[in-house]
Amino acid sequence: MPSVRSAATRVQQSYLVGVFSTVARTFHPVGLAFAVLFFAWSMSPSLLPRPWFLQALATGISMAIGYGVGRLLAWLTLHLGFAPRWSAHARIAGWTILSLTAAVTIPTFTILGARWQDIVRDIVGTQRDGGHFYLLVVFLAFTVAITLVFSGRALRWLSNRITHLGTRFVPTHTARLASIALLFTFVVFVVDGAAQRVIVNVAERSAAAVDVDTAPGVTAPIYPERSGSRHSAQAWNTLGNQGRSFVAGGPTWRNIEIATGQPAMTPIRVYAGRDSGPTFDDVAALVVDELERTGAFDRSVLAVATATGSGWVNPNVAAALEFVTGGDSAIASMQYSYLPSPVSFIADRETPQQAGRALFDAVYERWSSKPIDSRPALVVFGESLGSYGGQAAFSGGYEMLAKVDGALWSGTPNFTEQWQLITASRDANSRQARPIIASGDHIRFAAQPADVRGAGLAAEWRSPRIVYWQHSSDPIVWWNSELIHTRPEWLNKPLAPGIDPNLQWVPFVTFWQITADMVFSIDVPSGHGHSYGPEAAYLWADILDGITDKKLSPEQLDRVHAAIGRR
Residue 5 has pLDDT above 90, yes or no: no
φ and ψ at residue 455, rounded to 5 degrees: -65, 145
Predicted confidence (pLDDT) per residue in 239-296, tens digit:
999 999 999 999 999 999 999 999 999 999 999 999 899 999 999 999 999 999 999 9
Structure confidence at residue 559 (pLDDT): 97
Q: How much is the mean pLDDT over the chain?
A: 89
Identify the band that residue 179 occupies on the pLDDT scale cut at 50, 70 and 90: confident
User: What stretch of H or E contains 71?
Assistant: helix 52-79
Cβ–Cβ under 8 Å, residues 348 and 339: yes
Q: Distance between CA atoms of 41 and 388, rounded to whole angstroms?
A: 32
CA angle in degrees (0–180, nearest 5) for 22-27-32 = 135
Between helix 29-42 and helix 52-79 the angle, nearest 10°, is 150
CA angle in degrees (0–180, nearest 5) for 156-159-160 = 90
Whole-prediction pTM value? 0.89
Identify the band that residue 189 occupies on the pLDDT scale cut at 50, 70 and 90: low
Residue 528 has pLDDT above 70, yes or no: yes
Residue 21 has pLDDT above 70, yes or no: no
Please enumerate, as own/partner, the contacts of 445-449 that have beta carbons within 8 Å and a separation of 24 or more: 445/470, 446/470, 446/539, 447/471, 447/472, 447/496, 447/497, 447/498, 448/527, 448/535, 449/535, 449/538, 449/539, 449/542
Residue 10 has pLDDT above 60, yes or no: no
Q: Distance between CA atoms of 162 and 179, rounded to whole angstroms?
A: 6
Query: What sign has the CA pseudo-torsion 359, 365, 367, 368?
Result: positive
Identify the band that residue 535 occupies on the pLDDT scale cut at 50, 70 and 90: very high
Structure confidence at residue 154 (pLDDT): 86
Identify the band that residue 370 occupies on the pLDDT scale cut at 50, 70 and 90: very high
Least confident piece of the model among 101-110, 169-178, 549-558: 169-178
Task: Residue 215: count other Cβ atoms within 10 Å of its Cβ.
Answer: 11
Residue 1 has pLDDT above 80, yes or no: no
